[in-house]
Amino acid sequence: MRVPCCSIGLGLLVCGCASSQAPMPPPQPIICTAGADCDAKWSRAQAWIAKNSPRKTSAQTDTVVTTQSLFSESAPIFTVTKVARGQGRYEITFNGGCGNQSRCVPTVPESRARFTAFVLGEESPPPSE
């Protein structure tokens, strides 16, 4: 069976486009121990959301920070939680979403990576405006 040359070319073009953008690897989990360690990381988590979210914070407690959820725009919404893992250990989790993922700026994986780096102290705080 002969396959038309243009079909092969189109297939290579589509495959090339699909594979040119590798997904970002998930960042490492944010684990902390009760006391100064968790206090510092939770404070950095709250500061990152306050500085980087295009939306206002709608809820903020000792264990949850949530931004307003209006899925009609391309700006992401965030929810950050501090979850007890036992033996005085906690995990700070980051979730985000957009009404239109293809127009989400910045993307949720980019935001998650920046959030994780900042909370773990691997990235300096963003400059104040």
Domain CATH number, residue 63: 3.30.310.80
96 occurs within a structural domain: yes
90 occurs within a structural domain: yes
Domain range enclosing 100: 25-119
Overall average pLDDT of the 40-65 stretch: 88
2 occurs within a structural domain: no
Which residue pairs, CB below 8 angstroms and at least 24 apart, start in 94-103? Answer: 94/30, 94/45, 97/71, 98/71, 98/73, 98/74, 99/70, 99/71, 99/72, 99/73, 99/74, 100/74, 103/74
Residue 56's pLDDT band (cuts 50, 70, 90):
confident
Residue 61 has pLDDT above 60, yes or no: yes
For 79-129, the pLDDT digits (tens) are 999 999 999 999 999 998 887 777 888 888 999 999 999 999 986 555 444
1 occurs within a structural domain: no
Q: Please indicate whether residue 73 or residue 109 has the higher confidence score (pLDDT).
A: 109
Q: What is the pTM of this model?
A: 0.72
How many structural domains is the chain composed of? 1
20 occurs within a structural domain: no
CA dihedral 92, 126, 66, 116 (to 10 degrees): -20
